[in-house]
């Protein structure tokens, strides 16, 4: 785990206890009951939706149906930061969707979203590292894929700094800001990473 991040296992991981109480107000945890409402708010922000496959004017009901109780092969990580009031605020999420086809179960598709305030921050990198730790260190995944818009330079840089390689450029991948935009398929192979395998590699 990266410094400052907390892996939340229902209880705080014993190794991380000190870090929590010292400085970090960042918590990375699984998805609970009404988290979908915060995710809805997050994905309704233009800057966030732009780089996803979300549509504007989404119905809350339809959103809840899709996001409130993810299927068993989809692992969701939620990032919360503490506010001065002591309350928590959800600022990002990651979906790790293990492929259902029998011959592709070593593969997952990873999707990250982050509040614009968090974009490019250490918190965002912590979220990515937590998702990689879960996928490679606990689910035994060999290959983690991500699809980002070719114009989304920040996301490309983030993934590339964490061992992902652009494998393909998909022409006319999806509509973005009113026109067809290309996408980049990135992948990271667990066994191609540095010593220790599942942990973040030095860029």
Query: Of residues 70-89, which lie at the interface with other proteins (CB under 8 A)?
Result: none
Q: How far is the CB of 193 from other proteins (least distance, A)?
A: 13
Per the CB < 8 A criterion, the answer to whether 127 and 96 are in contact is no
Residue 62 binds other proteins (CB under 8 A): no
**Do residues 156 and 186 touch, judged by C-beta distance below 8 A?**
yes
The CA-atom distances, in angstroms, between 152 and each of 41, 62, 110, 124 are 21, 27, 16, 15
Nearer to other proteins, 123 or 145 (CB): 145
Q: Is 162 in the site for other proteins (CB under 8 A)?
A: no
Residue 101 touching other proteins (CB under 8 A): yes
Select 55 or 157, whichever has its Cβ closest to other proteins. Answer: 55
171 contributes a contact to other proteins by CB under 8 A: yes
Binding of other proteins by 169 (CB under 8 A)? yes
Q: Where does this chain touch other proteins (CB under 8 A) — which range of 13-21, 89-97, 100-108, 111-119?
A: 100-108
Nearer to other proteins by C-beta: 65 or 167? 167
Sign of CA dihedral 187, 193, 197, 201: negative
Whose tokens are 């993934």? That residue is 159
Q: For residues 153 and 182, is the Cβ–Cβ distance under 8 A?
A: no
CA distance linking residue 98 with residue 130, whole number of Å: 16
Place of tokens 């667990």: 190
- By the rule CB under 8 A, 132 interacts with other proteins: no
At residue 145, the 3 state secondary structure works out as strand
Taking the C-alpha atoms of residue 7 and residue 124, their distance in angstroms, rounded to an integer, is: 14
Rule CB under 8 A: is residue 8 a binding residue for other proteins? no
Residues that bind other proteins (CB under 8 A): 53-55, 101-104, 106-107, 142-143, 145, 166-176, 180, 185, 187, 189
């Amino acid at each position: 785990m990266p410094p400052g991040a907390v892996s939340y296992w229902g209880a705080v991981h014993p190794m991380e206890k000190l870090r929590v109480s010292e400085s970090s107000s960042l918590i990375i945890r699984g998805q609970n009951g009404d988290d979908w409402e915060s995710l809805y708010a997050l994905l309704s922000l233009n800057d966030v939706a732009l780089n996803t496959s979300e549509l504007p004017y989404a119905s809350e009901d339809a959103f809840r149906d899709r996001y409130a109780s993810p299927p068993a092969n989809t692992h969701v990580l939620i990032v919360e930061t503490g506010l001065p009031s002591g309350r928590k605020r959800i600022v990002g999420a990651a979906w790790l969707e293990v492929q259902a086809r029998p011959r592709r179960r070593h593969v997952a598709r990873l999707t990250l979203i982050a509040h614009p305030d968090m974009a490019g921050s250490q918190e965002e990198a912590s979220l990515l590292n937590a998702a990689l730790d879960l996928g490679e260190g606990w689910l035994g995944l060999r290959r983690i894929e991500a699809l980002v818009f070719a114009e989304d330079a920040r996301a490309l840089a983030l993934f590339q700094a964490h061992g992902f390689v652009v494998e393909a450029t998909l022409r006319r991948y999806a509509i973005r800001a009113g026109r067809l935009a290309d996408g980049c398929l990135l992948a990271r192979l667990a066994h191609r990473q540095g010593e220790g395998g599942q942990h973040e590699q030095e860029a």
